[in-house]
Amino acid sequence: MKVGIIQQANSSDMEANIEKLRRSIIQCSREGASLVVLQELHNGLYFCQTEDTAVFDRSEPIPGPSTRLFGGLAKECGVVLVLSLFEKRAPGLYHNTAVVMERDGSIAGIYRKMHIPDDPAYYEKFYFTPGDLGFTPVDTSCGRLGVLICWDQWYPEAARLMAMRGAEVLIYPTAIGWETSDTDEEKCRQHDAWLTIQRAHAVANGLPVVTVNRVGHEPDPSGSTDGICFWGSSFAAGAQGELLVQLPADSEERRVVEVPDRRESVRRWWPFFRDRRIDAYRGLTERYLDT
Amino acid sequence: MKVGIIQQANSSDMEANIEKLRRSIIQCSREGASLVVLQELHNGLYFCQTEDTAVFDRSEPIPGPSTRLFGGLAKECGVVLVLSLFEKRAPGLYHNTAVVMERDGSIAGIYRKMHIPDDPAYYEKFYFTPGDLGFTPVDTSCGRLGVLICWDQWYPEAARLMAMRGAEVLIYPTAIGWETSDTDEEKCRQHDAWLTIQRAHAVANGLPVVTVNRVGHEPDPSGSTDGICFWGSSFAAGAQGELLVQLPADSEERRVVEVPDRRESVRRWWPFFRDRRIDAYRGLTERYLDT
């Protein structure tokens, strides 16, 4: 499977952002991609640096304007597209939602972000109601896609459940970056931890991982911090966690990468699913095991 | 906490192996270690390359000769010691068991390997009954130790459950190596996957990891393969998965490393435990989620 990865720096001009995405998607399809993955909340700025009720105006229903627009593009290009949208489900009920568009322009399925972060500059719990659809992959003409979103990437449980439901690849649209005040050592540890844990999901589950991250600096609208420097570094890893490609940390880039399906052979040699001690995992559904 | 790591190449001369361990443990204590971790099945050769009923003669009860011998050494040196033994529990009932010796020479607790591998040259399912004690850390004068063993290292579930029960550090005695017939690329992928997934356990759970692996070549007693080349590379990683130390892949080495407890600060910034979706994890206790 050839996968297109579009790592973009966004501005407040949504039309310009979408026009850049459109050109990149077309280019990926010309380079042979059958699946194209966009970054988290790709239409605009990452708006969670402050808590502002006016921002809810940027949400949209699903189906809605973005699924129509990108659905048409998916059909035009003949590719499966993974979108990441700010979903308005009802007044006062919003989600961070990935939408998988089939190559005929229809909606193949959606995933609502299950794990919602909240820390300074990432006030997502204000905006996004935690997902209620569980960890269910989406069946497409490219295979069964285990779509997760950003903060989910820190949770081995999410990756495992997607794999156990037959996902052939894990896909993470994401928007993660550095606080400009962090030391270089701390930045390095964070970036490396982020790459390491997602490669480990590939290892633990014997399947490839594709992660598409935002790039560029976005100022803090409140002016109380220096904003976020998104670290790009979008990548694809194979079923043993080996890096297939990694994009730069500091610039926009589009790349089409061949992601082989080696699940069958890798899992024969490393049959982790065979030996899981499901009789002893009950504690995983607890908050903590106080002793 | 200062941790001593003893990476050793063993021969069939068990007395000589134990004498080397004894000298290394004393040396680690002189260098200030309060905790010393030995590799998996440290008293002898890795005997699972073939299935041979005579090998069960090497097992021993717990408490038994090794806990007496190393218990005396723990007391003499004033260190906590993590042992890895072939436990005889009853005729026909054997385990791969880690024993934590307190610095007064007593047994602080045991862990019986829960995930048992079985693949060519690692016929462990023949020898070891899967553990029945679950994932329970051991309280010691050095803190609460999350001791796991080798194949367990591929399971995020095991690491998570130890962390949820308050483990302050994950400890993996292990014996893993290369098939001599593998290509260099495959060897590299395997070694990197092994390091990656254990560093990821540190990341996911915000605690340090200490892994002690066997080194050196051991022939296949059956002569049907070229034996195993154990890849050493014992390491310690901090609570963000950052490597604190890594030993060589091809030689014996003893090292004392400072392993800081940064759980409190790391988990404040990356509060993964806060956001676990325990309402949606029930599937983790299933074998597979057929769809």
Nearest neighbour of B287 by CB, restricted to A192, A278, A280? A278
3 state DSSP class of B101: strand
3 state DSSP class of A228: strand
Q: In this complex, is the C-beta atom of A285 within 8 Å of any C-beta atom belonging to chain B? A: yes
Closest-CA distance, B215 to chain A, in angstroms, reads: 21
In a domain, A287, yes or no: no
CB B286 to CB A197 under 8 A? no
The predicted pLDDT at position B19 comes to 98
Closest-CA distance, B202 to chain A, in angstroms, reads: 9
Q: In this complex, is the C-beta atom of A272 within 8 Å of any C-beta atom belonging to chain B? A: yes
In a domain, B47, yes or no: yes
Strand order in the sheet with B138-140: B138-140, B143-147, B169-174, B209-213, B235-237, B243-246
Q: Contact B135/B165 with Cβ under 8 angstroms?
A: yes
Mutation target to probe the A interface, by most A beta carbons within 10 A, among B209, B262, B276 is B276
Q: Read off the tokens for B186.
A: 């495959």
Q: Contact A7/A253 with Cβ under 8 angstroms?
A: yes
The predicted pLDDT at position B291 comes to 79
Is A113 catalytic? The answer is: yes
The predicted pLDDT at position A180 comes to 79
Non-local CB neighbours of A290 within 8 Å, separated by 6+ positions: none
How many helical (H) and strand (E) elements, i.e. helices and strands, does chain B have? 7, 15
The predicted pLDDT at position A291 comes to 80
Between the alpha carbon of residue A239 and those of residues A98, B44, B261, the distances in Å are 23, 34, 32
- What is the pLDDT averaged over residues B183-192? 95
pLDDT digits (tens, 9 = 90+) for B208-246: 999 999 999 999 999 989 999 999 999 999 999 999 999
CB A204 to CB B192 under 8 A? no
Q: In this complex, is the C-beta atom of B272 within 8 Å of any C-beta atom belonging to chain A? A: yes
Residues forming a β-bridge with B93: B90
Non-local CB neighbours of B279 within 8 Å, separated by 6+ positions: none
Mutation target to probe the A interface, by most A beta carbons within 10 A, among B164, B191, B205, B243 is B164
Residue of B nearest to A242 (CA): B189
In a domain, A35, yes or no: yes
Nearest neighbour of A114 by CB, restricted to B119, B270, B280? B280
In a domain, A281, yes or no: no
Query: Which residue's structure tokens are 């930045």?
Result: A187
Q: Kindly give the residue spans of alpha helices, DSSP state H, lying in A63-123.
A: 65-77
The predicted pLDDT at position B257 comes to 98
pLDDT tens for chain A, 291 residues long, are 999 999 999 999 999 999 999 999 999 999 999 999 999 999 999 999 999 999 999 999 999 999 999 999 999 999 999 999 999 999 999 999 999 999 999 999 999 999 999 998 999 999 999 999 999 999 999 999 999 999 999 999 999 999 999 999 999 999 999 987 889 999 999 999 999 999 999 999 999 999 999 999 999 999 989 999 999 999 999 999 999 999 999 999 999 999 999 999 999 999 999 999 999 999 999 999 998
Total residues belonging to chain B: 291
In a domain, B281, yes or no: no
Amino acid making up residue A22: R
Backbone dihedral region of A64: left (phi > 0), alpha (psi from -120 to 50 degrees) or beta? beta
The predicted pLDDT at position B179 comes to 83
Residues of B in contact with A119 (CB under 8 A): 269, 271
In a domain, A291, yes or no: no
Give the pLDDT band (50/70/90) at residue B130.
very high
Q: Contact A4/A78 with Cβ under 8 angstroms?
A: no
In a domain, B282, yes or no: no
Nearest neighbour of A193 by CB, restricted to B193, B241, B280? B241
Q: Is ipTM over 0.85?
A: yes
- What is the pLDDT averaged over residues B237-259? 98
Q: In this complex, is the C-beta atom of A156 within 8 Å of any C-beta atom belonging to chain B? A: yes
Helix axes B156-164, B184-205, angle to 10 degrees: 20
Closest-CA distance, A77 to chain B, in angstroms, reads: 30
Q: In this complex, is the C-beta atom of B13 within 8 Å of any C-beta atom belonging to chain A? A: no
Is A20 catalytic? The answer is: no
Q: Contact B190/B197 with Cβ under 8 angstroms?
A: no
Nearest neighbour of B291 by CB, restricted to A166, A193, A272? A166
In a domain, B41, yes or no: yes
Q: Which domain holds residue A204?
A: 2-275
Q: In this complex, is the C-beta atom of A90 within 8 Å of any C-beta atom belonging to chain B? A: no
The predicted pLDDT at position A182 comes to 87
CB pairs under 8 A between A and B: 167
Q: Contact A218/A242 with Cβ under 8 angstroms?
A: no
A291: Cα separation from own chain's centroid: 36
The domain tally of chain B equals 1
Catalytic residue among A124, A150, A218, A229: A150
Total residues belonging to chain A: 291
Query: Which is nearest to A99 in space by CA: A132, A31, A143, A145?
Result: A145
**Residue A177 — φ and ψ, nearest 5°?**
-155, -175
Q: Read off the tokens for B253.
A: 């080495």
Residues of A in contact with B291 (CB under 8 A): 165-166
Give the pLDDT band (50/70/90) at residue B22.
very high
Here the CATH number for the domain that contains residue B242 is 3.60.110.10
Residue of B nearest to A179 (CA): B269
Non-local CB neighbours of A254 within 8 Å, separated by 6+ positions: A4, A5, A6, A7, A24, A27, A28
Residues of A in contact with B95 (CB under 8 A): none
Q: Rounded to two decimals, what is the model's pTM?
A: 0.98
Amino acid making up residue B156: P
Q: Is the pLDDT of residue B259 over 90?
A: yes
